[in-house]
Amino acid sequence: MAGRGFFAAHISLHGAETRPLHQEENCPDLSFPYSHLKTLLSGWLFYLKDCLNLSVIKPELSITVKPFLNIFIMKLLTKMALLAAFIFVGINITNAQTKAEKKAAARAQIKEMVEAQNFIFNATFAVPLRGGSRALTSSYDLTIGKDTIVAFLPYFGRAYVAPNPGSTDGGIKLNTTKFSYTSTPKGTGWNIIIKPKDKNIADWRDVQTFNLSISQDGYGQLQVISSNRDAISFNGYIEARKK
């Protein structure tokens, strides 16, 4: 093997001694007993000295080899750890900015829908006046537009007027163009009150008021107050109306 700082070593089968096969003028005299490991390590250290311009004490002083390696490795690991930390922090900052931007855009869309009076409230849980809440596995909603209110919601509770004879059409169902709509800011969200004007108190399904609270993130709670039945609430979220 050629090149400054590199040398090949011959190890006798009896392990008596090692000697360099090739040695340039400026290389130290290493013709004294060494183990195979120390010989290879010495050559590697000389190579580091040439490539990295490091000042290494003569390799025959084996006591200096291990401290040098420890220092070199620790410095290398420290730099790698710092680099990894900078990359990790940079990724987290980028992700945080992206999440914040998405959240701000979603809130702006919610505000636009509410102020335009054009959205759908999707009910995911029913909360009757009597009994515990119930998860809704089917699609139920309240569609709100400038000129129309459409309700398709389930009902769980007590009715004070008997259904029409032979009627099997329960739930809260309403489709009207006659209603009042009031939206009031409430904290960071809104409180919306909808009152149908074509009421029919004789109808056991008659609805007096829809009271809808919406957060800035689009989560909502809807309370339905009827003329002849217990009130019932629904938890859910709002989204844009399907075109």
Tell me whether residue 227 is in a domain. Answer: yes
Whether residue 135 is found in the same domain as residue 207: yes
Contact 21, 43 (CB under 8 A): no
Tell me whether residue 92 is in a domain. Answer: no
Looking at residue 41, its pLDDT comes to: 53
pLDDT in tens, 9-56: 333 334 444 444 444 444 444 444 445 545 555 555 555 555 544 444
Whether residue 53 is found in the same domain as residue 131: no
Handedness of CA 45, 47, 48, 52 (dihedral sign): positive
Output the pTM of the full model. Answer: 0.60
Into how many domains does the chain fold? 2
Tell me whether residue 91 is in a domain. Answer: no
Tell me whether residue 99 is in a domain. Answer: no
- pLDDT band for 242, please (50, 70, 90 cuts): confident
Q: Quick one: how many helices (H) and strands (E) in the chain?
A: 2, 11
Looking at residue 157, its pLDDT comes to: 87
The answer to whether residue 192 scores a pLDDT higher than 90 is yes
Q: Count CB atoms within 10 A of the CB of residue 34.
A: 20
Whether residue 48 is found in the same domain as residue 135: no
CA-based nearest residue to 136, from 150, 122, 146, 147: 122
Tell me whether residue 96 is in a domain. Answer: no
Looking at residue 147, its pLDDT comes to: 93
- pLDDT band for 138, please (50, 70, 90 cuts): very high
Looking at residue 55, its pLDDT comes to: 44
Regarding predicted confidence, which is higher, 226 or 87?
226
Whether residue 222 is found in the same domain as residue 152: yes
- Domain span at residue 39? 9-60
Give the domain CATH number at 215.
2.40.128.410
Distance from C-alpha of 155 to C-alpha of 170, rounded to nearest angstrom: 7
Distance from C-alpha of 51 to C-alpha of 6, rounded to nearest angstrom: 12
